[in-house]
């Protein structure tokens, strides 16, 4: 099982797999299926591998997240542990400015408990994480770089979800500091054509991987998400 075999049609977008131990940014506006995409990739991948992963949701409770996934036909693998915001509130009465370190410590502790078979993590989302921090942009970039380098050394494949505040089109190449820190960028968006709106997926970059850079339609089927070639 490869990461690109976890969603129907995704292996048409990629000629080779998403490299393990890389940091992948999944970015897009609200409603573009960022959480569903990331969750399905990890859950389906881990279900077929003798590996484990951690999905951290900072915006929804575990229950709400699972309800949302179930509504899209996305199943949960028992090998993917979900940790929501309330888990951290139980452990820490007050969030410090060093929340990144707290997250890093908990992720490393999770791997210590599971062992070397813990290979994948996802943070949903960076925007929610940033809202809890009171850090200057320059210091934030340094802290993010340090945390992501730790994840690479620990041989995690890391998925970071980032919601854009604006609805960007396919002609908008903008990406914040996260794009420079990530090995790959998967853009999910909405393309408006008259009164019709299509969700699309486009791989902006993926180091050490061969892939299409064209947009592909992303839709919800009765068995989760599906990717196919369309006309834009």
Per-residue pLDDT tens over the stretch 28-87: 999 999 999 999 999 999 999 999 999 999 988 999 999 999 999 999 999 999 998 766
For the cut 60, the answer to whether the pLDDT of residue 92 exceeds it is: no
How many angstroms separate the first and last alpha carbons of the chain?
Answer: 31
How are strands ordered across the β-sheet holding 23-28? Answer: 80-84, 52-57, 118-124, 157-163, 23-28, 184-193, 196-206, 216-221, 224-228
Neighbours of 48 (CB within 10 A): 13
* CATH, residue 85: 3.40.50.300
What is d(CA 172, CA 167) in angstroms, rounded to the nearest whole number?
Answer: 10
What confidence tens digit (pLDDT) does each residue in 126-174 have?
A: 998 888 887 888 899 999 999 999 999 999 999 999 998 655 555 555 5
Give the range of the structural domain holding residue 96, as residue numbers without chain letter. 3-228
CA distances in angstroms from 18 to 131, 142, 167, 203, 212, listed in the order given: 29, 25, 26, 11, 13
Q: Is residue 161 a contact partner of residue 38, using CB atoms and an 8 Å limit?
A: yes
What confidence tens digit (pLDDT) does each residue in 94-106 have?
A: 555 578 888 899 9
What is d(CA 17, CA 208) in angstroms, rounded to the nearest whole number?
Answer: 9
Q: Which two tokens stand for residue 155?
A: 């041989």
For the cut 90, the answer to whether the pLDDT of residue 182 exceeds it is: yes
Question: What's the pLDDT at 89?
Answer: 57
Winning range, highest mean pLDDT, from 2-11, 126-135, 193-202: 2-11
Averaged pLDDT for residues 202-207: 96
Smallest CA-to-CA distance from 11 within 232, 231, 230, 228 is with 228
Claim: this prediction has a pTM higher than 0.75: yes
Question: What's the pLDDT at 232?
Answer: 74
Averaged pLDDT for residues 197-213: 96
What is d(CA 179, CA 5) in angstroms, rounded to the nearest whole number?
Answer: 24
Query: Which pLDDT band, with edges at 50, 70 and 90, does 194 fall under?
Result: confident
Q: What are the backbone dihedrals phi and psi of residue 182, each rounded to the nearest 5 degrees, phi first?
A: -90, 155
What is d(CA 221, CA 113) in angstroms, rounded to the nearest whole number?
Answer: 36
Averaged pLDDT for residues 2-26: 98
Give me the number of domains the chain comprises: 1
Pairing between strand 196-206 and 216-221?
antiparallel
Question: What's the pLDDT at 192?
Answer: 86
Question: What's the pLDDT at 100?
Answer: 86
């Amino acid at each position: 099982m490869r990461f690109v075999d976890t969603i129907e049609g995704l292996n048409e977008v990629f000629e080779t797999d998403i490299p393990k131990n890389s940091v992948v940014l999944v970015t897009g506006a609200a409603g573009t299926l960022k959480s569903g995409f990331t969750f399905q990739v990890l859950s389906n991948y881990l279900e077929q591998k003798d590996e484990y992963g951690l999905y951290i949701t900072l915006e929804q409770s575990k229950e709400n997240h699972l309800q949302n996934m179930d509504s899209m036909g996305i199943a949960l693998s028992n090998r993917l542990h979900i940790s929501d915001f309330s888990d951290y509130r139980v452990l820490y009465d007050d969030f410090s400015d060093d929340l990144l370190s707290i997250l890093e410590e908990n992720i490393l502790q999770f791997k210590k408990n599971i062992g070397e078979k813990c290979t994948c993590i996802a943070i949903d989302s960076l925007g929610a994480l940033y809202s809890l921090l009171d850090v200057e942009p320059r210091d934030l970039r340094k802290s993010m770089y340090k945390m992501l380098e730790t994840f690479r050394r620990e041989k995690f494949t890391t998925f970071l979800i980032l919601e854009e505040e604006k609805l960007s089109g396919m002609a908008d190449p903008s990406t914040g500091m996260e794009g420079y820190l990530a090995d790959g960028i998967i853009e999910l968006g909405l393309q408006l054509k008259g009164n019709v709106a299509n969700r699309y997926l486009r791989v902006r970059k993926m180091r050490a991987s061969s892939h299409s850079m064209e947009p592909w339609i992303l839709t919800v089927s009765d068995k989760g998400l599906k990717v196919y070639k369309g006309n834009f």
